Amino acid sequence: MPFLQLSGLTKRFGDVVAVEDFSLAVEKGEFVSLLGPSGCGKTTTLQMIAGFEQPTSGHIMLNGRHLEEVPARNRGLGIVFQTYALFPHMTVEENVAFGLEMRGIDKKERARKVAGALELVQLAHLAKRYPRAMSGGQRQRVALARALVIEPELLLLDEPLSNLDAKLREEMQLELRRIQQEAGVTTLLVTHDQNEAMALSDRVAVMHHGRLMQQETPFHVYENPKSSFISTFLGKTNSLTATLKTTNDEGSALVCNGMELAGPPAHLRPGPITVSLRPERIEIVEAGEAVVSGPVIERIFLGDQWLFRIETPIGPLLVVRRNRGQREPEHGETVHLAWTPHHLRLLPKEDEAA
Ligand SMILES: Nc1ncnc2c1ncn2[C@@H]1O[C@H](COP(=O)(O)OP(=O)(O)OP(=O)(O)O)[C@@H](O)[C@H]1O
């Protein structure tokens, strides 16, 4: 039996179905992200696990116990919110010690555990500080130490890094992963930030309209999205409308804006489909090798990479190239593009409306 098992979890608020028939299994020590756009039901799912919301139906099992009947305070979970929720009148060590005090842990043991938790988040030197005299990143570490000090069976993180600026957020992502692995704690993270979910998680569970759409490793979800919603939500992609003409074990034939294209074998019926082509899969080639050609209509330098938008007969294509310090096409210059057919992902058309 998995360490955490959500089975058929559903939550309705009046007419609104916030979470629908959501099932997910998480193994001990695993880091899983619930990823999805605003309003897809991520927080509601976390709140049901935490015990702040009652499921309309479904079950939550943690380490062999049914959690539905257990009051929030007795679930023994570590929780970190976006706002950190530190006590402003308490020092860092008092904040971290609070949960232990509530549990009646004696002073000596408390001091030992607090020291260990502050060590883990690398804040031992700031134990006597007050939260107001700390940066956002440091406060976030205090919140983490406070959640981890009780040695929770499960750590729940609700958008914990979204109040930090971009650079600090990236640093804290690495930190969060290190801390989670060192503590070995099973972790569920709620985020709408695909980079964060990919950087941190063993597995990503993508949600849309209260439902679980796909749950696999970040690499697998990125490379093999099940729907066009997922392919556009996770990373950048070129989404093309096409018609699948024929398919067999060798490959498929597509028509996109009147142009014939070769694709990989498809598990779809002939007819309208969506084709996803990742920008980093498109190469700039010589005229003779081109699948499509067209002028550069946008050219953006991002330091480590270049983004180009090329006007082609199958529509504008986004192309990403690693900056290697070499000459890159100019605005208006005609470029020739190619890709291998098996890099196309053929997805059902209906998904777009979902
Ligand atoms: N207490 C509530 N009463 C009524 N509707 C609610 C309540 N809480 C959430 N909802 C609705 O349920 C849906 C899911 O909300 P939820 O907060 O779980 O989404 P989310 O994916 O976490 O979004 P965000 O990232 O914006 O917080 C939304 O349509 C929301 O308006």
Residues 133, 260, single domain; the answer is no
Give the whole-angstrom CA distance, residue 129 versus residue 277: 51
The mean pLDDT value of the chain amounts to 93
Residue 24 reports pLDDT greater than 80: yes
Q: How far apart are the first and last CA of the chain?
A: 32
The alpha carbon of 44 and the centre of ligand 1 are apart by a number of angstroms equal to 6
Residues 105, 136, single domain; the answer is yes
Mind listing the pLDDT tens digit for each residue in 133-173? 998 888 988 999 999 999 999 999 999 888 778 888 888 88
The alpha carbon of 16 and the centre of ligand 1 are apart by a number of angstroms equal to 9
Which atom of ligand 1 lies nearest, measured to the CA of 14?
4
| φ, ψ at 174 (rounded to 5°) | -65, -40
Ligand 1 within 6 A of 40 CB?
A: yes
Q: What is the pLDDT of residue 25?
A: 96
In a domain? residue 64: yes
Which of 228, 255, 278 is a domain's end point? Answer: 228
DSSP 182-220: HHT-EEEEEES-HHHHHHH-SEEEEEETTEEEEEE-HHH
The alpha carbon of 302 and the centre of ligand 1 are apart by a number of angstroms equal to 35
Looking up residue 57, the CATH number of its domain turns out to be 3.40.50.300
Which of 228, 252, 278 is a domain's end point? Answer: 228
pTM of the predicted model as reported, rounded to 2 decimal places: 0.89
Q: What is the pLDDT of residue 331?
A: 96
Residues 299, 213, single domain; the answer is no
Looking up residue 246, the CATH number of its domain turns out to be 2.40.50.140
Q: What is the pLDDT of residue 351?
A: 47
From 242, 237, 233, select the one nearest 268 (Cα to Cα): 242
Residues 162, 310, single domain; the answer is no
Using the structure block, give the residue that is written with the tokens 């970040």.
218
Tell which one of 11, 34, 42 to mutate to probe ligand 1, the residue whose CB is within 8 A of the most ligand atoms.
42
Ligand 1 within 6 A of 39 CB?
A: yes
Residues 212, 249, single domain; the answer is no
Residue 85 reports pLDDT greater than 90: no
Mind listing the pLDDT tens digit for each residue in 88-108? 999 999 999 998 988 888 999
CA 353 from chain centre, in angstroms, equals: 22
Residues 72, 207, single domain; the answer is yes
Which atom of ligand 1 lies nearest, measured to the CA of 192?
25
The alpha carbon of 41 and the centre of ligand 1 are apart by a number of angstroms equal to 6
In a domain? residue 233: no
Ligand 1 within 6 A of 52 CB?
A: no
Domain extent, residue 101, equals 4-228
Ligand 1 within 6 A of 256 CB?
A: no
Ligand 1 within 6 A of 13 CB?
A: yes
Which of 193, 228, 263 is a domain's end point? Answer: 228
Ligand 1 within 6 A of 9 CB?
A: no
Ligand 1 within 6 A of 47 CB?
A: no
Ligand 1 within 6 A of 42 CB?
A: yes
CB atoms within 10 A of CB 27: 12
Residues 10, 103, single domain; the answer is yes
Residues 195, 117, single domain; the answer is yes
Ligand 1 within 6 A of 41 CB?
A: yes
Q: What is the pLDDT of residue 353?
A: 44
Q: What is the pLDDT of residue 350?
A: 65
Residues 169, 315, single domain; the answer is no
Residue 249 reports pLDDT greater than 50: yes
